[in-house]
Amino acid sequence: MSKLLANIIGIGSYIPEKVFTNQDLARMVDTTDEWIVSRTGIKERHIAEINQGVSDLAVPAITKALTQAKLSAEDLELIVVGTCSPDYPVFPSTGCVIQDRIGAKNAAAFDVSAACSGFIYALSIATQYIENGTYKNILVVGADELSKSLNWQDRGTCVLFGDGAGAAVLAPDKTYGVLATHLGAVGSGWKHLLVPEGGTKQPLTKAGLENKKNTIQMNGKEVFRFAVKAVEDSLGAVLAKCNIKKEALALFIPHQANIRIIDHAVKHMGFPKDKVYANLDRYGNTSAASIPLALDEAHREGRIKKGDLVGVCGFGAGLTYGAGIIKWGI
């Protein structure tokens, strides 16, 4: 009997309406469009409204994915949400909020905390359940709103991130689907990208609030170094797992954090630039949403066709990383 693959039968994405351009940011902090474009490739990003939770971004993305999959929410047996910016602190999980919002009453639901690698981690988990026959129809979401955890006075971080959501519906198939995933973590680097206060280790204090310790703090240079290596190592590992040469990939979609990270990694790997997808100029780093958002756009633009081999790779806080090879099935 041939192995069951977790096939993506529907994909959708959503980004909030409000746009912040580099020029807008230059009016808020000491920066310029030229600096942001040359150091990151980002020109603009979308920012959620104050009362718009991450589930509000995820639901429209999920609706599109379910429509394409020709499934109803009640067909879903599991919802796995990659996010590090849940609707509510501590609990409930955003997965449960989404389950209620879309009426997926037959689905178990939980969140995965792997920051910008959240979608790849969630996809890898969902894939196991399909391959071992436990579930048939699984919803995988990657959604984040890091705008709510940014220090809008810190020019080193506030220019990098944007909000968004992406969703994929998975179902078993004998020909198309996720051929392999590879996950990893370098926990010793946890301190390079963190929100220092507001958790159990350091509950938020009045002084912490005044000093913005409840916002993202990053050692950009360390994260950059880690990311370039993570892209190369994880793509190499997952290609080796399925015995595929990088030349066989029709498209490579790395996490959309910084065009310089992508350029460095693909140059070092000797990967052709015209087979690398990038949309970070319009969205910035949307964290766990970045890969499903790019997959959805690339598919709608005709850059991915049925039968194509697509490489995806994520990296982020943790430090986490992960990659996958998908034989595209829609």
Residues near ligand UT7 (CB under 6 A) are 31, 35-36, 39-40, 116, 155-156, 159, 218, 220-221, 223-224, 227, 257-258, 285, 316
Shortest distance, CB of residue 219 to ligand UT7, whole angstroms?
8
Q: How far, in Å, CA of 38 to CA of 211, rounded?
A: 29
Of residues 271, 309, 184, 178, the one with CA closest to residue 234: 184
Task: Tell me how far CA of residue 18 lies from CA of 57, 148, 292, in angstroms.
Answer: 13, 14, 20
Shortest distance, CB of residue 9 to ligand UT7, whole angstroms?
28
Q: Is 295 exposed, middle or buried (0-12, 13-18, 19+ CB in 10 A)?
A: buried
Tell me which of 22, 137, 258, 285 is the catalytic residue.
285
Name the residue type at position 65: A
137 part of the active site: no
DSSP 3-state assignment of 109? strand
Residue among 223 and 266 whose Cβ is closer to ligand UT7: 223
Residue among 62 and 114 whose Cβ is closer to ligand UT7: 114
- Are 193 and 223 a contacting pair, CB within 8 Å? yes
Residue among 179 and 280 whose Cβ is closer to ligand UT7: 280
Name the H helices within the chain: 22-26, 33-40, 54-69, 94-102, 118-131, 155-158, 206-210, 220-241, 259-269, 280-283, 290-300
182 part of the active site: no
Structure tokens at 219: 């050692």
Tell me which of 255, 258, 264, 313 is the catalytic residue.
255
158 part of the active site: no
Residue among 196 and 220 whose Cβ is closer to ligand UT7: 220
Shortest distance, CB of residue 163 to ligand UT7, whole angstroms?
14
Residue among 18 and 260 whose Cβ is closer to ligand UT7: 260
Shortest distance, CB of residue 301 to ligand UT7, whole angstroms?
24
Tell me which of 7, 22, 46, 116 is the catalytic residue.
116
Closest residue to ligand UT7 using C-beta atoms: 220
Q: How far, in Å, CA of 156 to CA of 39, rounded?
A: 11
Shortest distance, CB of residue 120 to ligand UT7, whole angstroms?
12
Which residues are catalytic, by number? Answer: 116, 255, 285
